[in-house]
Amino acid sequence: MRRIFSVLMENAPGALSRIMGVFSQRGYNVDSLCVAPTNDKSLSRLTIITEADDKVAEQILKQVNKLIDVLRVTELTGSAHVERELMLIKVATRTEVARAEVKRNVDIFRARVLDVTSQHYTMEITGTSDKLTAFADVMADCADITESARTGVCGLSRGDRALRP
Amino acid sequence: MKMMSGAAMVVEALKDVGVTHLFGYPGGAVLDIYDALFAQEHVKHILVRHEQGAAHMADGYARSTGKTGTVLVTSGPGATNTLTGIATAYMDSIPMVVLSGQVPTQLIGEDAFQETDMVGCSRPVVKHSFLVKRAVDIPKAIAQAYYIANSGRPGPVVVDLPKDIVNVQEEHLYEFPTDVTMRSYNPTLKGHGKQIKKTVSTLENAKRPVLYIGGGAIAADASDLVTELAEKLNAPVVSTLMGLGAFSSVHEQFLGMLGMHGTFEANKTMHNADCILALGARFDDRVTNNVDKFCPHADIIHVDIDPASISKTINAHIPVVGSVDEVVRQILAEMASHDFSDQDTKLTDWWEQINDWRSRQCLRYNQGDTTIKPQRVIESLYKHTNGDAYVSSDVGQHQMFAALYYPFAKPRRWINSGGLGTMGFGLPAAMGVQFAHPEACSVVVTGDGSIQMNIQELSTCLQYNLPVKIISLNNRALGMVRQWQDMIYKGRHSSSYMESMPDFVKLAEAYGHVGIKVDTLDELDGAMERCFAEKDRLVFMDIAVDQNEHVYPMQIKFGAMDDMRLSKTERT
Ligand SMILES: Cc1ncc(C[n+]2csc(CCOP(=O)(O)OP(=O)(O)O)c2C)c(N)n1
């Protein structure tokens, strides 16, 4: 089952490698990872996507929580939450038809064009991972994807629930 | 507040956290620290012969006292040589701080001479680590290292010290922190009230309870409390390899070690129990055998300070996060408002059954009249030390024989590498014990294979006059490997036989110690007596034992807890 874990940790050197260490050492897989300092610069917030059954998920929570640098860890999946991912995607458009088709889909998906040259469009799109994947699939149909980069998911609980120090 | 160099700060901080013994080995990156050590008398430095030995000595020191052991090594090879020792401590939750030298900060990452990423290398086997970047941070890093190492679930902590920050030329303000608490680290010590209530009502209803105790009971210094609880419940007690001594092995309610080489009665009792109270034990694979067949009738109450140990392998019905001492205290208090007055009658049938299992006398063995059986050596050792020695052990058959045939009446007397199973641990560990308890009898039970893994420390023993007693069960083979080869590989002894044993007596003598060789049964007791009469000397007892002896009982792979071989021919 797909899980989203949110981790609040000290913004300290080595902290991230310790968390990744837990995953590699204990054989848990990481599908995506998104990390940056929070509004409080002494803290970092990390969102990890992984596939895990209930038993493994419980171990991930406990093992990550055990790290000295980690203040809080929670699983977002399983309760109401919002999640978003950002993708930058560059496509090569060789024909007028292709260019029109790309622009049409940008509107449909509410993506944004960031850079245009005679041969290339670079776009950004935000949304759930599924939406990003769908957009990339459509782009592959109407143009050639030159390159793309995704941030990995980042998420928060809905309502007043929060991960605080 | 004083001005001092980074190196002096290291030593001052060690003094301020109360370190008296420092096991180490010098080298380029730590010469400044060595110079600072030279100028003082508070911290005694012990020069080892190999850095792995330093880590095991600090470990033996820690296990036998409960205090944190300390190691100081240089960068690169000095640091990497400690890794096995760090991992050994990590697996058994032993408090240890390793101070490692590092190349100067400006050279880090340049593959400088004797540079290794020690924080990275040690990451999977430490509780935490610090790479200190500024001299002024030294006191705080050291204070926090000791706090982390010896609180919550204890474990090793690495403090990596680049050479430029310990430079003796520059002075900084030394300020020892008054508060070492960290917002991200708050171990839970007290059990949750609701869980304690559930625990007590489950115990009250139990008809076939058992206490399953582990190293956590020793780490929490909870022996008296555990004993009080066991007696109030009139419950049988079994122990892991790591828990031996937490509950007296000569107590009537004690059934012995459980698990792979556990006693028949301990494993039977576990398998048939209706309630298992696990205190500071972690249901590891050397205990449970096949987890799918594990103790099918039992309600499992799991008390552990590390939430990650609970329901990791075996699902706990009642998880209780907390330290064994606090939780047992809470359980005892809660029991006062329940009726536990008639446990004797309540458990009559259970004890009758257990005593029947006991009557099988699973530790019986056949001595015969010439070749010495390893079990017999341990019994003789027990007799000649009045059962009151600190017994360190290496890893192999001899370790299991010591665990099974030397009943420990007190905690912190049995010092062995349970989790990692590190051959070479025994001698340096026994040395650490001897440093901590200069007047006590420190023994190491070892094998001809294991002793050679850190034999160089015999030289350290001479330097510091450590009268350690080495009881080497010489079976001219890697016995435990050979046993598995006998059982699983039709007796094909692939590389488990050592054709070139040294003359251990001469070797001991070459290092300046006493060596005694024992070949026959009739020499054994006399030799033991001579050994322990040498109060001030290290004695190496090279005892020829039966090469074909196996350790029994032994669980049968893929079976339940109580599926065991009881001898070469009998199984349950
Ligand atoms: C460092 C290390 N290497 C290998 C092993 C695997 N191993 C476990 S027991 C054993 C044999 C030990 O032989 P010895 O010390 O002579 O003890 P005996 O079993 O004969 O009593 C070996 C090789 C280990 N535990 N540790």
Task: Convert the pLDDT of each residue in B69-85 to its tens digit.
Answer: 999 999 999 999 999 99
pLDDT (average), residues B378-404: 98
pLDDT (average), residues B491-506: 92
Residues whose CB falls within 8 Å of the CB of residue B46, separated by 6 or more in sequence, listed in order: B21, B22, B23, B24, B54, B57, B435, B460, B464
Q: What is the pLDDT of residue B369?
A: 85
- Which one has a higher pLDDT value, B26 or B572? B26
Q: What is the pLDDT of residue B485?
A: 96
Task: Show contacts of B363-372: CB within 8 Å, 24+ apart.
Answer: B363/B256, B363/B263, B363/B404, B363/B405, B365/B549, B367/B521, B369/B521, B370/B520, B370/B521, B371/B521, B371/B544, B371/B545, B371/B546, B372/B518, B372/B520, B372/B521, B372/B524, B372/B543, B372/B544, B372/B545, B372/B546
Q: What is the pLDDT of residue B370?
A: 87
Is B283 in contact with B240 (CB distance < 8 Å)?
A: no
Domain positions in chain A are 2-79, 82-150
Question: Which pTM does this prediction carry?
Answer: 0.96
Q: What is the pLDDT of residue B39?
A: 85
Among candidates A18, A25, A62 on the partner chain, residue whose Cβ is nearest the Cβ of B307: A62
Q: What is the pLDDT of residue B437?
A: 98
Smallest CA-to-CA distance from B100 within B127, B80, B84, B85 is with B80
Secondary-structure class of domain A82-150 per CATH: alpha beta
* Residues of chain B positioned with their CB less than 8 A from the CB of A10: 184
Atom of ligand 1 nearest to the CA of B374: 21
Q: Best of B450, B452, B470 to mutate for ligand 1, by most ligand atoms within 8 A of CB?
A: B450
Distance CA B148, CA B90 (A): 13
Nearest CA to ligand 1 atom 13: B478
Element housing B457 (H / E): helix B457-463
Distance CA B560, CA B271 (A): 8
Give the pLDDT band of residue B498 (cuts 50, 70, 90).
Answer: confident
The pLDDT mean for chain B works out to 97
Find the B234 Cα to ligand 1 centroid distance in Å.
38
- The CATH superfamily holding the domain A2-79 is ACT domain (3.30.70.260)
Looking at chain B, how many residues does it have? 572
Find the B484 Cα to ligand 1 centroid distance in Å.
12
Give ipTM to 2 decimals. Answer: 0.92
Angle between helices B138-149 and B6-17 (to 10 degrees): 30
DSSP assignment of B190-258 equals SPPHHHHHHHHHHHHH-SSEEEEE-HHHHHTT-HHHHHHHHHHHT--EEE-TTTTTSS-TTSTTEEEE-
B interface residues, A as partner, C-beta within 8 Å: 119-120, 123-124, 127-129, 131, 148, 182-185, 306-308, 310-312
What ranges in B83-162 are assigned the alpha helix state H?
83-91, 118-122, 138-149
Does the structure show a pLDDT above 90 at B438?
yes
Q: What is the pLDDT of residue B188?
A: 95
Does the structure show a pLDDT above 90 at B415?
yes
Q: What is the pLDDT of residue B499?
A: 80
Interface test with chain B among A8, A16, A24, A66, by most B beta carbons within 10 Å = A66
Give the pLDDT band of residue B160 (cuts 50, 70, 90).
Answer: very high
**Mean pLDDT, 10 residues at a time, chain A of 165 residues:** 96 94 94 96 97 95 97 94 97 93 96 95 97 97 96 95 91
Q: What is the pLDDT of residue B518?
A: 98
Distance CA B503, CA B444 (A): 19
Residues whose CB falls within 8 Å of the CB of residue A109, separated by 6 or more in sequence, listed in order: A125, A127, A131, A134, A135, A138
Report all structural domains of chain B as residue ranges with CATH numbers, in order of start: 2-174 (3.40.50.970), 193-358 (3.40.50.1220), 374-551 (3.40.50.970)
